[in-house]
Structures are given as C-alpha cells and as structure tokens.
Chains A and B, each alone.
Chain A
Amino acid sequence: MFSSYFIAVIISVWIVVFGYWMYVRNKEKTL
C-alpha cells in the first residue's frame, strides 16, 4: 500500500524539477 506522504514527495520533486526545466526552456525560447 502506498503512503500519501511518499506520493507527495515524488510529485513535488517532479513538479519542481520539471518546472525549473520549463523555466530554462522558456528563457531559451525568448533568446
């Protein structure tokens, strides 16, 4: 059985890492 804490960690890590990637990508696009 999954714990909601574990899922929260995975989701937050993915969101922050992916969000930062998109931020850099957006900077690249506006160049």
Chain B
Amino acid sequence: MTYLTYNKNKILLFATLIIMFVNLWTIIYLAPMIPDQEWAQRIFYYHVPLAWNAFLGYFGVMIFSITYLISRNTKWDVLAQAAAEVGTIFCLLILITGPIWAKPIWGKAWTWEPRLTTTLILFLLFIGYFMIREFGGPYERSSRYAAVIGILASIDIPIIYYAVDFWSPQVQSHPQRDMGGHASAVMQVFYFSLFTFTLIFVNMMRYRSHVRKMELLKLEEENV
C-alpha cells in the first residue's frame, strides 16, 4: 500500500496544493507594499513560516525522542526521525531564503550575527544527527544515540528564538521579537501563509513516517 492509495492522504495533498497556490496569490496581489522594502519584503511571508515549520519539526524531535527513550516504542522513533528530516529541510530553506532577503535589505547576504550563527549551528547539529542514524551501528543503538543527540540539539531552539534578547542590540540585524508594528493586512496574509506551511509540514511528516514505518516492517519480515 503506497501512501497515496489512502483517500484521506490524497485529499490532504490536493487541498494543500490548492492552498499553496492561493497563498502565493495572496502574497502577490493582496499583501500591501511596504515602501522602503518593496518586493523583497514579501520574502517575509515565506521566510518566517519556514522558520516556524523548522522549529515545529525540531520541537517534535525533542518530544518524540524523550517519549522514545522512556517507552522504547519504535513508533516514537519513526516520528522523531520524520520530524528531524522535515525540520532539517525547512532549516535548509531558512538558510537559503534568509540570505536572498538580506542581500537587497542589509546589503550583504550573510553576517555573523547571533541568530544566523545559532541557526547554522542547529542545522549542522542535525547533520550530525543523521550521521549517527546512518553509521551508529545496530538499529536499537543508533536510534538511542540519535534520540539523545536530538534532545541535546533542541536546546539550541530557545537560544535562536531569544537570540535577539540575549545579545546586545548593537550586534543584531534581526528585528526584536514583538511584531506589533505590522498593519493588520500584513498579518492576515502572514497568518494564512503560516497555516499553508503548517499544512505542508503535516503532509511531509505523514508521508515520511508512513514510508519509514513500511521500511521497518520490511526489515522485520526479512529478519524473521
């Protein structure tokens, strides 16, 4: 049984694709133009929901890893791995879209300011996580190691979020955490985009964990 044989998965994917196009349309035609940033400002509607998705994924890794270590039920390990992969895909996208936005706005694509540096560190930590998964030995052992690394790496998430408060404002390029300064039209488009990307996240998580589950079932059958 493939993932798309189930009707609910098909409907979810189809609905997500339509909402993705609607989201693009609202960003292009409904979002108000902010005078000093022009088109580059619209990258915000992609960049911030991508960051939300990455954190959702990594937060999932932490929760599922803790549950796995306590219960030793493979179900949680499957979910942790799926969350880690999807989170890293979105983390990669933050690291791609950020510099594209920064080039016209800050004048240079990358500065070593706290939030950028800590995000890059998080990305590299999870590259290590996948290496442990791949080369950590037998399944039971590698997934236990991976769970511990997943939990430790997740400590970086609040550091990224509060990076704008931790370090002095002189070294910051990112805006402060409160977004109160935005007009309501901006926020409506933004929340719709957030919803769209959360749907994409749910689709990817479901698909990846389904395939991983099937892989493990196949391995079990081969070993019996």
- Residues on A close to B: CB < 8 A? 1-3, 5-6, 8-10, 12-13, 16-17, 20-21, 24, 27-28, 31
Contact = CB atoms under 8 A, between A and B. Distances in A.
A6 B42 contact: yes
Interface of B: 2-3, 24, 38-40, 42-43, 46-47, 50, 85-86, 89, 92-93, 96-97, 100-101, 103-104, 200, 204, 207-208, 211, 214-215, 218
Given A10-B46, A21-B207, A28-B3, A5 B89 contact: no
| Interchain residue pairs A-B with the least CB separation, the first 4 | A3-B39, A28-B211, A6-B39, A9-B97
Q: Looking at chain B's contact residues, is the secondary structure mostly helix, strand, loop, or mixed? A: helix
Given A1-B39, A6-B43, A9-B43, A24 B89 contact: no
A21 to B, nearest CB: 7
Given A12-B97, A16-B96, 6 more contacts: A5-B103, A6-B43, A8-B100, A9-B97, A17-B200, A27-B215
A20 B88 CA distance: 11
A16 B150 CA distance: 23
B92 A16 contact: yes
A15 B97 CA distance: 12
A10 B218 CA distance: 37
Residue among A2, A5, A8, A12 facing the most chain B CB atoms (10 A cut-off): A5
Contacts of A9: 43, 46-47, 96-97, 100-101
Nearest to A1: B39
A6 B37 CA distance: 12
B207 A24 contact: yes
Contacts of A8: 100
A31 B43 contact: no
A20 B97 contact: no
A28 B93 contact: no
A21 B3 CA distance: 12
A4 to B, nearest CB: 9
B39 A5 contact: yes
